[in-house]
Amino acid sequence: MRRVLTPSTAAAVVAAVAVLCVAFTAGVAAAPDAGPPGAEGGTLPSASAEECGPGDGTELVGCWNGTHYEDSLSFEQSDGLNETQLSALTDLTMARVEHVRQRPFKEDVPVETVSRSEYANDTAGGGNGSEAFRRWNDQVWEALFVVGDETNANDEIDSVFGGAVSGFYSPSRDEIVIVVPDGESPDIDPSTLAHELLHAMQDQYHDLTRPRYVGVTQDGDLAVDGIVEGEAVHVEERYAARCADNWTCVEAPASGGGGGGGGTPDYNFGILQTVLQPYGDGALYVRELVDEGGWAAVNETMNDPPESTAEVIHRDPDYEEGNVTFEDAATGGWETYPNQGVDGAETAGEASMFVMFWYQSAGVQFDSGYEYSILEPDRSVGANFNVHLRTDAELRTRATYNYAHPVTDGWAGDELYPYRNGDRDGYVWATEWQTREDAAAFRDAYVRMLSAHGDGGYEDGTVYVIDEESDFPGAYGVERDGTSVTVTHAPSPEGVLELRPDADLTLPDADDGTGGDGGSEDGTDGSDGDGSDGGGTDGDGTDGDGSDGENGTNDSETDGTAGSAPGFGVGAALVALVAALGLFARRAR
């Protein structure tokens, strides 16, 4: 995984993390080696075995240091790899990546190893920035209802990535580093090596240290990763398909390489599923680019990366955004963080917004999640959980996830402004949507989420209060004006009106402090709209689509894994590539 760290970190690091996605490698059909060839894409035919010899230059494709892509290795890595074996595996993998990508490497890519403890010591807290950034970032993740008020978002990010990094490519040092268990010889997943070598090739042709490969917002980061990681996963998939068909490949270590370990990790799955978005949607996006325009189309997109996750989710290079209108009118001592984000604002984007609503049903599978039906309130919690698993296209070698839903499909832009006032925190989140209907769908879902965490009883036009027992206590104002929806949060109802003095909102009834005792027009009264009672079922624990009312999964969607959903099952092999070292802990100043 490519990842550029905060300015306080000396080196820009590209990381690969072993987490969450189940890797399906058995029975994979062989994929074509590349899209339509052509000089405009810089693609070249691969050399024959006879043409491949020691000392050959970099003009040959499919041959590196005398190793041909159809060669095989005479050793296994059951006891780890020594230095000579690691070098031989690297040469063979480079030759094969060249063959799949139809492009030669320009120079050798060194592969080093580091122990798990050394890596942890070197990177602990390295991406979390200043105290101002950490406080600002806390409000971003609290606004997304993924990290609660009493939990540090930066610690949650560290917990997702800290123990799972299996390897990374460093553009600043032009090398790959594989993280291995303490006291053991390196076991390397060939797919991880191929993935990181593709990043090295990208760096040699495009220079990954350029500012264009680091988004200035959360959504921008994920969008850029859509092409950078998407190409790496696409090549990795083709590589794995050839291993399943006619190449002899080194078996992946049982742990997935790098000592990631097994079992069910104690991660914040809301953060994790946000970070995973480029690896699935990005790979599908690149697959379409190759199918339609060959590798030339990928090269062009690398030179002009996507600007939003909406572009990658919907695989639409011409996706149009709208203008977000926001004016800071806060009174009573509230101030933004002008040196964080973009003039104090973060852009969450469509992917993060989808995860926000989906995460509210994740408690059906994970102890750390919640059990509310937000995306589809008339269906069970399990059915809402499975929305994330119902994809319109599949990757060849692993489970992928869905990030598209009518509630968030109409995203046109957002600016989330964290505020501070002494020791009080708040935020104003201005969002823009393609149509009035899109805005209404988002607003209604957000209100359902508030009602689920509160006591129901949401009343339009009134500041809504969630009590202290919730992970997200405090006061909330939600306003929709045409295609715009603005969410305001402060510890008290009065604070909401200080942050938005022109808001058309009234304070809640002082008698109950909950924002009214009647239901809203859209039925978000907490009785069936928030999904806390599994509403929308047929009375037998199912919602009519096969979702099990007890564990919330659908056997028809588990690829034969009864009682668990793809990628989420207890005891599953958790293998995927995701961003590391604090994906959203960046741009601290």
- pLDDT, tens digit (0-9, with 9 covering 90-100), for 508-542: 986 544 433 333 334 343 333 333 333 333 333 33
Q: Tell which residue, 219, 417, 239, has the closest CA to residue 319.
A: 219
- Contacts of residue 570, Cβ cutoff 8 Å, sequence gap at least 6: 263, 264, 564
pLDDT class of 208 with cuts at 50, 70, 90 = very high
Residue 74: exposed, middle, or buried by beta-carbon count in 10 A (0-12, 13-18, 19+)?
A: exposed
What's residue 128's pLDDT? 52
Over residues 130-147, the pLDDT tens digits come to 899 999 999 999 999 999
Residue 200: half-sphere exposure toward Cβ, Cα within 13 Å:
27
**pLDDT-wise least confident of 195-209, 213-227, 463-477, 514-528:** 514-528
What's residue 117's pLDDT? 80
For residue 51 the two structure tokens come to 């043409």
- Do 280 and 400 contact (CB within 8 A), yes or no? yes
Q: Cα–Cα distance between 54 and 65 in angstroms, integer?
A: 5
pLDDT class of 18 with cuts at 50, 70, 90 = very low
Q: Tell which residue, 268, 6, 267, has the closest CA to residue 126.
A: 6
pLDDT, the chain, mean: 79
- Contacts of residue 237, Cβ cutoff 8 Å, sequence gap at least 6: 31, 283, 395, 396, 397
What's residue 515's pLDDT? 39
- Do 166 and 246 contact (CB within 8 A), yes or no? no
Residue 556 has pLDDT above 80, yes or no: no
Q: Cα–Cα distance between 359 and 145 in angstroms, integer?
A: 8
pLDDT class of 154 with cuts at 50, 70, 90 = confident
| Between residues 364 and 561, the one the model is more confident about | 364
Place of tokens 């959980």: 385
- Do 53 and 156 contact (CB within 8 A), yes or no? no
- Contacts of residue 358, Cβ cutoff 8 Å, sequence gap at least 6: 273, 374, 375, 384, 385, 387, 388
What's residue 264's pLDDT? 56
What's residue 178's pLDDT? 83
Classified as helix, coil or strand, 15 is strand
Alpha helices (runs of H) in 115-262, residue ranges in sequence order: 116-123, 131-143, 153-161, 190-206, 218-245
**pLDDT-wise least confident of 1-10, 483-492, 547-556:** 1-10
Long-range Cβ pairs for the range 326-330 (8 Å, 24+)? 326/415, 326/417, 326/428, 326/430, 326/486, 328/417, 329/500, 329/501, 329/502, 330/419, 330/428, 330/498, 330/499, 330/500, 330/501
pLDDT class of 246 with cuts at 50, 70, 90 = confident
- Do 503 and 497 contact (CB within 8 A), yes or no? yes
- Do 414 and 431 contact (CB within 8 A), yes or no? yes
Average pLDDT over residues 359-369: 88
Highest averaged pLDDT of the listed ranges 4-8, 245-249, 495-499: 495-499
Residue 218 has pLDDT above 90, yes or no: yes
Q: Cα–Cα distance between 400 and 281 in angstroms, integer?
A: 8
Q: Cα–Cα distance between 228 and 304 in angstroms, integer?
A: 11
Average pLDDT over residues 460-489: 97
Report residue 255: phi and psi, to 5°: -85, -5
- Contacts of residue 32, Cβ cutoff 8 Å, sequence gap at least 6: 238
Report residue 356: phi and psi, to 5°: -55, -50
How much of the chain, in percent, has pLDDT values that exceed 90? 58
The amino acid that residue 492 corresponds to is S
Residue 387 has pLDDT above 90, yes or no: yes
Place of tokens 């590589």: 239
What's residue 38's pLDDT? 36
Q: Cα–Cα distance between 74 and 30 in angstroms, integer?
A: 23
Starting at the earlier edge strand, list the strands of the sheet with 464-466: 411-421, 424-433, 484-490, 474-481, 464-466
Over residues 333-348, the pLDDT tens digits come to 999 999 999 999 999 9
- Do 11 and 170 contact (CB within 8 A), yes or no? yes
Q: Cα–Cα distance between 298 and 275 in angstroms, integer?
A: 22
- Do 187 and 80 contact (CB within 8 A), yes or no? yes
How much of the chain, in percent, has pLDDT values that exceed 70? 73
